[in-house]
Amino acid sequence: MNLLVCVKQVPDTTEIKIDPETHRLIRKGVPSILNPFDAYALEMAARIKDAHSDAKIIVLSMGPDQAKNALRECLAIGADNAYLLSDRAFGGSDTLATSYILSEGIKKVAELEGGFDVVFCGKQAIDGDTAQVGPEIAEHMDLPQITYGLEAEYKEDGLCVTRETDEGKEILEAETPCLVTVTKPDFEPRFPTIKGKLAARKKEIVTLTSEDLSTIDLMQAGLKGSPTKVKSTFTPEIKAGGLMIEAETSEEAAEKLANMLESKNII
């Protein structure tokens, strides 16, 4: 059983800065971390691996060479193999182009690893918060998908997933191969052990470029393949606190508010 987890290295949100000219994130000099929702996805895969001795976890990321740090962290936690999609032609990709490149990367990794049963993704990356890449990968690859996963159990006839909804939880089953996006569950991701860190240092992380992806169309990658354009970005202006209306009852408070708005010709 092969479980593939897509992960992303993201800037620490407490240190994020925006380039006022390009409107892109300034990554240089900013500490990077493994995207938290991807850590939950890895933990979900690891729990399946705990229950099935034949399971193998493969992690895949797209980014510059420094993204290997996030992949090595995944290897230390319990992943078996790691691949990095890295090419200048991939730079500037929006979610649509990114999901396309990742889908092509997954096809290549499937060739090298002998296929896959489940693709796990974090529900979103904290640097973009779009929650689009996972579902778009499923569309590119024509895979059944379950979003907002909380728990997953692998069975002979497919994958059983408990997912979060606005009303509570629901349980769905999907035939494999399938894709699952993972939100924050009740459990926390496991930490790498010292033994795991030492073993991860020795493992090779395979870098794949556009030349390794035989079916990729570079017109769908990078800036050329990105229909999303950022027109402007800004930091919201911090405003002073509101006015507190004191009253004995809600009706009295509503009357005071109405009188105040009327006196200012707002209503």
Does CATH place domain 2-220 in 3.40.50.620? yes
pLDDT along the chain (267 residues), means of 10: 96 69 66 93 96 96 94 95 97 95 97 96 92 96 97 92 95 96 94 92 95 95 91 73 87 92 88
Tens digit of pLDDT for each residue in 174-187? 999 999 999 999 99
Name the packing angle between helices 95-113 and 133-141 (round to 10°). 60
- As a whole number of angstroms, the distance between CA 116 and CA 55 comes to 10
Tens digit of pLDDT for each residue in 83-132? 999 999 999 999 999 999 999 999 999 999 999 999 999 999 998 889 99
- The pLDDT value recorded for residue 85 is 98
Q: Rg for the chain (alpha carbons), in Å?
A: 23
Q: How is the chain split into domains, by residue range?
A: 2-220
Q: Which residues lie below 8 Å from residue 220, measured CB to CB, with a gap of 6+?
A: 97, 100
- As a whole number of angstroms, the distance between CA 60 and CA 112 comes to 13
